[in-house]
Structure 1
Amino acid sequence: MSQKQFKSDGNIVAPYLLGLARSNPGLTVIEHDRVVFRAASAPSAKNKPKVTLVSGGGSGHEPTHAGFVGDGALDAIAAGAIFASPSTKQIFSALKAVESPKGTLLIVKNYTGDIIHFGLAAERAKAAGMNVELVAVGDDVSVGKKKGSLVGRRGLGATVLVHKIAGAAASHGLELSEVAKIARAVVENSATIAGSLDHCTVPGHKPENNLGPDEYEIGMGIHNESGTERRSPLPSIPQLVTELLPLVLGEKEDNTFVEFSPEEDVVLMINNMGGMSNLELGYATEVVSEQLIKKFSIVPKRTMSGTFITALNGPGFGITLLNASKAGPDIMRYFDYPTNASGWNQNYHSAQEWKVLAGGKVPTAPPLETVKNEKPSGVTANYETFSKILQSGIAKVKEVEPKVTWYDTIAGDGDCGTTLVSGGRALEEAIQKHTLRLTDAAHGIEDIAYIVEDSMGGTSGGLYSIYLSALAKGISDSGDKTLTVDTFREASKTALDALYKYTRARPGYRTLIDALQPFVEALNSGQDPRTAVDAAFKGAEKTRKMDALVGRASYVAKEELSKLDDEGGLPDPGAVGLAALLDGLVSAAGY
């Protein structure tokens, strides 16, 4: 996990707010006070007055808070420095920017500094004749009731739900007391737990190394504070979810703040603390959903996944559950109400569109059936011989995989060897199940092409599949009765010509073509298959001295490619893998 960061003096909050307003029409910035407000909420606006919502807190939690300023959500926010509460003056500035005759709800996370400054701002506003109420969000369940009896729960993921649901309630014309009541109901019926692999990196500060390389924390907050429990070794996402869910569901008495049952309407939020990839977060969302359904019989009525409230680049995620049934009858309606706040990444969906399938199943469709040519090609092959040749090639690929993978970690994305092995394993499975039509030479190679495309993926999978598909057609069009070396010779040239239609790679470009083209050329010049394989190996070896002109390696710095200069240079991984495959195929054929 990299701890690199851009150089910074830490003065990035105000420019961030300006950038947000620049990319979100309707937002206005009071730069001096680091306040963002919705222009339509300003006192001079001609639209019908409504209860306005003001929130804020320390920066570093984006998109909260400024990202939730928008129609149907917040009206204004005050942004403090990173992980520091805004001042009372800033908060009062936000209150005045969206002052409403119907009053204003202040939403604050339950942290000491925030409560003091927002509370003082509320009192000053009341003294100035404004109608203001304050709601504190506390939904963390990692700190037990005994330990947190005086300070209460920390404000985490439920903050976002309060922004959205209370904002929608205000947009429906409710009075201040009613909006505040709904906000408090959301808080009281929400529970959040988070886990992280490490602490975040604060811009302009030296990275912290609080956790060992094999440690992680349960109960992480959003201010770089330590979690409630440190554990090791590093877990998989399913393992971490297994540890987190019982806590958020209140299975430990001291951590039971909200109870959930299968018959109730539950909202699930999976929140990226800032440093997880979208791929991993989506995976975590499905893992949490599956465990909720299978282990606890809880099928969430709404599921949201994304980056909502962060600890800068914290490498972890939080699970928030809201018991909407207990929070009130209109909670789901307000959750579904549309907003243009940039931080709410859920597109507007009607209640009908949110309809949950029985058992919490996700709508799925069957795979497209592969359309195969069932008419015999007329070119027969011996099943046992064909199978033996194929398995020999697979064995050679497995043998060379570590070397190919190592080469590709330098020259590419590190998956060349494993991709080849994945294709080999899929073919082995097909051989065991007798699903390859190996008694028909053309059909057998066509089947191999489909499996390679399905199991290998990436550029190499596509190239192999194109070549094999064209090879199958060349054999089918040969007019021969049996697959021979001569049949293969002509078809291999046809297949290479077909491949050249879809790739710019040519000999000398440092790709698998540097092994394939010499092999095909040697065969078609009358050489025996073993000599052709030798040509493939020589072609692969020549790539050590070539500049990469196409493919991933073309983006790699020459300094990286020079790491194996003591071996004569770094060869192209794809060419090395292909030469090994051809060696295995030809060896089993008796050459």
Structure 2
Amino acid sequence: MSQKQFKSDGNIVGPYLLGLARSNPGLTVIKHDRVVYRTKSAGNDSKVALVSGGGSGHEPTHAGFVGDGALDAIAAGAIFASPSTKQIYSAIKAVESAKGVLIIVKNYTGDVIHFGLAAERAKLAGMKVEMVAVGDDVSVGKKKGSLVGRRGLGATCLVHKIAGAAATFGLELHDVAEVAQSVVDNSVTINASLDHCTVPGHKPENLLGKDEYEIGMGIHNESGTQKSSPLPSIPELVSKLLPLVLGEDEDRSYVKFDPKDEVVLMINNMGGLSNLELGYAAEIVSEQLIEKYHIVPKRTITGTFITALNGPGFGITLLNASKAGKDIIKYFDYPTTASGWNQMYHKAEDWKPLADGKVPSAPPLKQVRNEKKSGVKADYDTFAKILLAGIAKINEVEPKVTFYDTIAGDGDCGTTLVTGGKALTEAIKDRSLRLDDAALGIEDIAYIVEDSMGGTSGGLYSIYLSALAKGVRDSGDSKLTAETFKNASQFALDALYKYTRARPGYRTLIDALQPFVETLNAGKGPRAAAKAAHEGAEKTRKMEALVGRASYVAKEELKRLDDEGGLPDPGAVGLAALLDALVSEAGF
């Protein structure tokens, strides 16, 4: 299997969206925000608007599902990283409808946080908004996945298509949301692959042996739940996958299927399988469903719907349409112009907007800054110096954090922190941060972190910093002091807990943040608090992951660093290093 790839700096998402719009009339791109929307959806109050999105690398999901009878808009993040709340809100505003907006999101921590925050902001702005999280993966059993739920895989595309058609039929927001949720509740997916994918601009990694394959693969290069060898034939592999997807194991029995049920079968290419092999797999799955289980699919679709870049594998998705509702097949059959579903014929006049060689475009959503001063003064130069010290420390520990995250997650934790540091460094250089006002300065940092970092950590940092800014503002103090920061830090942690299930002991960055805040508020001082953060990060070496992507990784992978005491949580390590540098530079 070739590991070669074209040279890339990784900056391919924006051009991809423009290329998609160039070949699909009726799409408009907000280039700055990496938003694609159905041109006819702007200002259209006749139907519920559907908004989705997520990290790139899963094409044609998500942008390929924008079209008549499907999605109205999407926000695209960097590869395997959630878009920021600002991007998502920009997508919502582009297709805002009086009938409301349904947000469809895959059940991953970063996506749920960012899309949830965008939903709350839209509600504050007076919009009618509901959100449905897609979780259909059966590789993780009910016991292990009780906290985080199932990952969003192939059924995401079925929800886009079926809910999109339901909205076209004029259903109200709550009814469209019910259709979407019913598809989620009655769908199951299992993936299997010969290897992990190759991320553009990154060094290829061989995580599987020459004769190994993996069952339970996700779509973010995370490890599956079962490695096996030798390599099987497709019929042998299918015979292992169908019992899992049909719930013969009670711990993975999410949806029941009876021979009399109307069932939709989707065979999805994870990106690197040939069309010949994929079609063969579809026929083998169909044959075994019919012969072994007496299930005759009512509808069968085969193709590339949601990928892990060039992942050399496929997924089986089953939807029990009978249990999902009487109109599900009708919505499934409804035509769509979304290229991710199929290629539709376009009339000549549809191409006229592209006649001048330009893609229809719109300006980005402008970020409205809070201009009300807090009255809590800070010294600009001191504030900037402390920030730069923290950024320098992040750059220093990035290789170690990235290495840890390559094993425990998708490998972007360190680079995400560095990206946020670069953006803050530029803001310090051009003096766009209002660091002479403590609350406004922290608020500016939160916006930059959100806009530049993305991913789960970017969302968590941004929420915490936003709440920290409010805590400082509400303090009533005339200047920023250690006491002001101490009180605000507890307020910010309490606010963060509203948006994440992570708690101490769950093996996340919370294991560094919570001891820092607790020690600080116990009156032991910033230096002791920074030490507590480091000790908290070290404790994650012995913890079992309960939330986040590491919770899906096989335990064998997490044992690779047993010789140094275990594999620590990358986010906790990065945060502890940052806090130590900030405290040291502040002179505590």
Q: Do they superpose with TM above 0.5?
A: yes
Partner of 1:312: 309
Give the whole-Å Cα distance in 2 for the aligned partners of 1:90 and 1:187: 25
* 1:357-404 C-alpha deviation (Å, 9 max, x unpaired): xxxxxxxxxxxxxxxxxxxxxxxxxxxxxxxxxxxxxxxxxxxxxxxx
Structure 2: which amino acid aligns with 1:243? Answer: K
Residue 207 (structure 1) shift: 0.6
Residue 128 (structure 1) shift: 0.6
2:54 maps to which of 57, 67, 70: 57
Give the whole-Å Cα distance in 1 for the aligned partners of 2:77 and 2:46: 28
Partner of 1:518: none
Q: How many pairs align?
A: 345
What pairs with 1:471-482 in structure 2 (closer than 5 Å)?
A: none
Partner of 2:7: 7
The 3-state SS of whatever aligns with 1:36 is strand
* 1:130-153 C-alpha deviation (Å, 9 max, x unpaired): 110000000000000000000000
Task: Tell me, yes or no, if structure 1 residue 135 matches structure 2 residue 109.
Answer: no
Give the whole-Å Cα distance in 1 for the aligned partners of 2:321 and 2:343: 18
Partner of 1:68: 65
Q: Is the 8 A contact 1:292 1:299 kept in 2?
A: yes
Q: Is the 8 A contact 2:34 2:87 kept in 1?
A: yes
* 1:442-495 C-alpha deviation (Å, 9 max, x unpaired): xxxxxxxxxxxxxxxxxxxxxxxxxxxxxxxxxxxxxxxxxxxxxxxxxxxxxx
Residue 322 (structure 1) shift: 0.1
Residue 5 (structure 1) shift: 0.2
Structure 1: which 5+ residue stretches go unaligned? Answer: 349-591
* 1:289-327 C-alpha deviation (Å, 9 max, x unpaired): 000000000000000000000000000000000000000
Residue 346 (structure 1) shift: 7.7
TM-score (norm. length: structure 2): 0.58
Structure 2: which amino acid aligns with 1:10? Answer: G
Shift of the 190–347 alpha-carbon distance from structure 1 to 2, 3 Å rule, reads: farther
Partner of 1:439: none
Partner of 2:228: 231
* 1:135-193 C-alpha deviation (Å, 9 max, x unpaired): 00000000000000000000000000000000000000000000000000000000000
* 1:236-268 C-alpha deviation (Å, 9 max, x unpaired): 111110110000000000000001010000000
What pairs with 1:79-228 in structure 2 (closer than 5 Å)?
A: 79-228=76-225
18-27 or 339-348: bigger deviation? 339-348
Partner of 1:18: 18
Structure 2: which amino acid aligns with 1:120? Answer: L
Give the whole-Å Cα distance in 1 for the aligned partners of 2:342 and 2:4: 28
Give the whole-Å Cα distance in 2 for the aligned partners of 1:242 and 1:286: 13
Give the whole-Å Cα distance in 2 for the aligned partners of 1:189 and 1:278: 28
Structure 1: which amino acid aligns with 2:54? Answer: G
Q: Is the 8 A contact 2:337 2:344 kept in 1?
A: no
* 1:481-530 C-alpha deviation (Å, 9 max, x unpaired): xxxxxxxxxxxxxxxxxxxxxxxxxxxxxxxxxxxxxxxxxxxxxxxxxx
What is the percentage of aligned positions where both structures have the same residue?
Answer: 82
Residue 215 (structure 1) shift: 0.3
Give the whole-Å Cα distance in 2 for the aligned partners of 1:347 and 1:25: 11
Q: Is the 8 A contact 1:275 1:315 kept in 2?
A: yes
Partner of 1:34: 34
Q: Is the 8 A contact 2:337 2:343 kept in 1?
A: no
Shift of the 346–319 alpha-carbon distance from structure 1 to 2, 3 Å rule, reads: farther
Residue 345 (structure 1) shift: 2.1
Give the whole-Å Cα distance in 1 for the aligned partners of 2:197 and 2:207: 10
TM-score (norm. length: structure 1): 0.58
Structure 2: which amino acid aligns with 1:64? Answer: T
The 3-state SS of whatever aligns with 1:339 is coil
Structure 2: which amino acid aligns with 1:261? Answer: D
Partner of 2:330: 333
Q: Is the 8 A contact 1:324 1:331 kept in 2?
A: yes
Give the whole-Å Cα distance in 2 for the aligned partners of 1:248 and 1:311: 20
Structure 2: which amino acid aligns with 1:8? Answer: S
Give the whole-Å Cα distance in 2 for the aligned partners of 1:219 and 1:239: 16
Q: Is the 8 A contact 1:306 1:345 kept in 2?
A: no
Residue 347 (structure 1) shift: 7.0
What is the RMSD of the two structures over their aligned residues, measured on CA atoms? 1.0
Q: Is the 8 A contact 2:29 2:36 kept in 1?
A: yes
What pairs with 1:485-496 in structure 2 (closer than 5 Å)?
A: none
The 3-state SS of whatever aligns with 1:133 is strand
Structure 1: which amino acid aligns with 2:13? Answer: V
Q: Which of structures 1 and 2 has the larger relative contact order (alpha carbons within 8 angstroms, sep 6+)? A: 2
Give the whole-Å Cα distance in 1 for the aligned partners of 2:233 and 2:145: 30
Give the whole-Å Cα distance in 1 for the aligned partners of 2:29 and 2:49: 17
The 3-state SS of whatever aligns with 1:148 is coil
Give the whole-Å Cα distance in 2 for the aligned partners of 1:155 and 1:332: 21
Task: Tell me, yes or no, if structure 1 residue 301 matches structure 2 residue 292.
Answer: no
Give the whole-Å Cα distance in 2 for the aligned partners of 1:269 and 1:220: 17
The 3-state SS of whatever aligns with 2:7 is coil
Structure 1: which amino acid aligns with 2:313? Answer: G
1:323 maps to which of 320, 324, 329: 320
Q: Is the 8 A contact 2:269 2:304 kept in 1?
A: yes
Give the whole-Å Cα distance in 2 for the aligned partners of 1:280 and 1:230: 21
Give the whole-Å Cα distance in 2 for the aligned partners of 1:207 and 1:249: 34
Give the whole-Å Cα distance in 1 for the aligned partners of 2:277 and 2:148: 34
The 3-state SS of whatever aligns with 2:111 is helix
The 3-state SS of whatever aligns with 1:179 is helix
* 1:533-587 C-alpha deviation (Å, 9 max, x unpaired): xxxxxxxxxxxxxxxxxxxxxxxxxxxxxxxxxxxxxxxxxxxxxxxxxxxxxxx
The 3-state SS of whatever aligns with 1:80 is strand
Structure 1: which amino acid aligns with 2:94? Answer: A
Give the whole-Å Cα distance in 1 for the aligned partners of 2:29 and 2:234: 40
* 1:312-353 C-alpha deviation (Å, 9 max, x unpaired): 0000000000000000000000000000100002879xxxxx
Q: Is the 8 A contact 1:304 1:346 kept in 2?
A: no
Give the whole-Å Cα distance in 1 for the aligned partners of 2:238 and 2:342: 23
Give the whole-Å Cα distance in 1 for the aligned partners of 2:242 and 2:261: 17
Structure 1 residue runs of 4+, over 3 Å off?
A: none
Q: Which has the larger radius of gyration?
A: 1
1:256 maps to which of 230, 253, 278: 253
